[in-house]
Amino acid sequence: MRFHVVLRYVAFALLLNSFFMGVATTISFFNNDSAAMPLLYSTLITALFGIFPLIYVPKSGNISNKEGLLVVVISWLSSCLVGSLPYLLWGGVFSFTNAWFESVSGFTTTGSTILVNIEALPDSLLFWRAATHWLGGVGIIIFVLSVLPFMGIAELVLFRSEVSSLAQESFRQRARNAVRILAGVYLGLTILEVIALKLCGMNLFDSIIHSFATIATGGFSNKNSSIAHYNSPVVEIVIMIFMILSGLHFGLLFTAVTGNIKNIFNSTITRFYIISMLVGIIITSLNLYGTNYDSWIDSLRFSSFQLLSLGTSTGFATADSSVWPAFTQLILIFFTFQCACSGSTSGGIKADRIVVLFKSFIRHLKQLMHPNAVIPIRIEGRAVDDKIASRAVSFVIFYIAIVFISTLLLSLLGIDSYSAFTGSAATMGNVGPGFGSVGSVGNYSQIPQLGKWIFSADMLLGRLEIYALFIALTPAQWKKSVSY
């Protein structure tokens, strides 16, 4: 284990962070706001920590799987740590716990916030907040890989460590091409949405903030009432379209855009994703009509936005879903667990795993009836390796177990069980808002300090898809060879 080599690659992630902090600093000096010195100092500290390993450690294009995994985990943790510096130095409501929570929420694209009054923050700090989303959305390491020249085997190792195995399955491309596709689609969608929102009447700053949050499926708005602030169906439609696109596998989007757009619907996973969302929207609209909304249009408008927001793990809000009927809330909770497709910026269990889980169940039923039959799980005509299928099943089990354990721990701290459960599900799935006291118009400010640390751990576990963090933090694992 060459710790110095690991530090060299982590340094690139820190330099990327410092670049965006530098942009926020420029905004701060331009606006002459109170975050200038905090951002400047944070930029310098981060840049210095980023430059130093590059001075000492020579280039190394060859890293092991273990080293790659450690690079990913340390990059994420160190980014969250340096990301909290601007908040900590600015002060106000930002204690260390609050600053860490907000930073982790940003980088993991969860979108949960401890802020009661978001609009009290200076624009520069709001930009940094949104930038943490954008950096974390596609993955800090992917960003680094997309801007650095070819790095040899290290590139493949880092790509495999950062991108989930499920997403890699669908990416039938070399790592270098896959990185380019991911970064290209990500950037392209962001630019398109900025233009679209600007045309809808949003000012440029708000367009950038909300585009960062949409494409990263993060949900940090710079308005206290989130998207409801604009009260504009056009804005909501644009954001919904981009939320749906951000929930699709980026490789699929790329091939659809460069080839035949109909290719998107050839994918079983995509069809499941879109159909499940449509069914969810219809059911919730029906349930809300006559109860919370008197008109069909309103019922459809608000239910579709909320469902898509939670179902893509974005977390924007146009209504207070905490006061909706229990049935609708339960539907939304399901989508909080499922979320969108792998290979997108979405969190949650992922639609792919839900499909694999369902097909595993069907296969098991068939095997009970025909014990000697060989029944592969097929997705899009291709047999899914048994290892992938069993990993998907065990992932779902671990995922739900972690949500359950978090709920238990949080309820010990005095948080009501509904808020604890939905908050755990929302943070684990990197969705953002849960229900109860942490609902779509609420925040996490009233959660006890220890509760915020538990939620932060959930966010990181969810974003790093559980295994990476556990392996990195378990010294015993470093003695064995790791296949991930």
Partner 1 sequence: MKLKGKILSGFIILVIMLTIAGGWSIYELDNVGLTINKILDENYKSINLSKRMTEDLERQDSGILLLMLGRWKEGREILSKADSSFNSNLNFAFNNITVPGEKVNLDNISASYSAYRNLWEKPIVDTDKEGNFDWYFNRMHKEFMKVKYAVQQLADLNDKTMYEIASAAEQRSNRAIMPGIIAVLSSILFTVIFVYFVNYYVVNPIVNITSRVKMFIEKNRPFTVEIETKDELLELAESIKKLCEYESARVNTK
Under rule CB under 8 A, residue 48 binds partner 1? yes
Comparing CA positions, the residue from 170, 109, 86, 118 lying closest to residue 315 is 109
Under rule CB under 8 A, residue 3 binds partner 1? yes
Under rule CB under 8 A, residue 41 binds partner 1? yes
Whether the CB-CB separation of 171 and 251 falls below 8 Å is answered with yes
Under rule CB under 8 A, residue 32 binds partner 1? no
Under rule CB under 8 A, residue 85 binds partner 1? yes
Under rule CB under 8 A, residue 91 binds partner 1? yes
Closest approach, Cβ 45 to partner 1, in A, equals 6
Under rule CB under 8 A, residue 52 binds partner 1? yes
- Judged by CB under 8 A, which of 6, 7, 72, 144 binds partner 1? 7
CA 134 to chain centre: 10
DSSP track, 404-453: HHHHHHHHHTT--HHHHHHHHHHHHTT----SGGGSTT--STTS-HHHHH
Could you give the angle at the alpha carbon of 97 between the alpha carbons of 95 and 102, nearest 5°?
95
Binding mask 398-427 for partner 1 (x = CB under 8 A): ------------------------------
**C-alpha dist (Å) from residue 255 to 23, 216, 359, 379, 441:** 33, 20, 26, 18, 38
From 83-91, 175-183, 201-209, 228-236, span contacting partner 1 (CB under 8 A): 83-91
Under rule CB under 8 A, residue 45 binds partner 1? yes
Q: How far apart are CA 336 and CA 377, in angstroms?
A: 25
Under rule CB under 8 A, residue 49 binds partner 1? yes
Whether the CB-CB separation of 301 and 236 falls below 8 Å is answered with yes
- Judged by CB under 8 A, which of 61, 62, 92, 204 binds partner 1? 92
Q: Which is nearer to partner 1, 92 or 414 (CB)?
A: 92
Q: Which is nearer to partner 1, 231 or 449 (CB)?
A: 449
Under rule CB under 8 A, residue 116 binds partner 1? no
Closest approach, Cβ 88 to partner 1, in A, equals 6
Closest approach, Cβ 43 to partner 1, in A, equals 11
Specify the DSSP class assigned to residue 292.
T
Closest approach, Cβ 91 to partner 1, in A, equals 5
From 84-92, 145-153, 166-174, 410-418, span contacting partner 1 (CB under 8 A): 84-92
Q: Which is nearer to partner 1, 151 or 438 (CB)?
A: 151
Under rule CB under 8 A, residue 44 binds partner 1? yes
Whether the CB-CB separation of 160 and 141 falls below 8 Å is answered with no
Within 13 A of 273's CA, how many CA atoms are on the CB side?
29
Q: How far apart are CA 91 and CA 94, in angstroms?
A: 5
Closest approach, Cβ 106 to partner 1, in A, equals 19
Comparing CA positions, the residue from 452, 391, 480, 432 lying closest to residue 110 is 432
- Judged by CB under 8 A, which of 6, 14, 16, 53 binds partner 1? 53
Q: How far apart are CA 354 and CA 352, in angstroms?
A: 5
Whether the CB-CB separation of 267 and 251 falls below 8 Å is answered with no
- Judged by CB under 8 A, which of 1, 32, 58, 369 binds partner 1? 58
**Would strands 382-384 and 377-379 be described as parallel, antiparallel, or unpaired?**
antiparallel
- Judged by CB under 8 A, which of 4, 174, 366, 382 binds partner 1? 4
Closest approach, Cβ 446 to partner 1, in A, equals 22
- Judged by CB under 8 A, which of 19, 23, 26, 57 binds partner 1? 57
Under rule CB under 8 A, residue 89 binds partner 1? yes
Q: Which is nearer to partner 1, 82 or 466 (CB)?
A: 82
Q: Which is nearer to partner 1, 2 or 363 (CB)?
A: 2
> Which tokens in the block code for residue 218?
């993060």
Residues contacting residue 210 through CB under 8 Å, at least 6 positions apart: 193, 197, 202, 221, 222, 227, 239
> Which tokens in the block code for residue 429?
């799935």
Under rule CB under 8 A, residue 93 binds partner 1? no
Under rule CB under 8 A, residue 51 binds partner 1? yes
Q: How far apart are CA 179 and CA 149, in angstroms?
A: 12
Closest approach, Cβ 120 to partner 1, in A, equals 13
Residues at the contact surface with partner 1, assessed by CB under 8 A: 3-4, 7, 37-38, 41, 44-45, 48-49, 51-53, 55-58, 85, 88-92
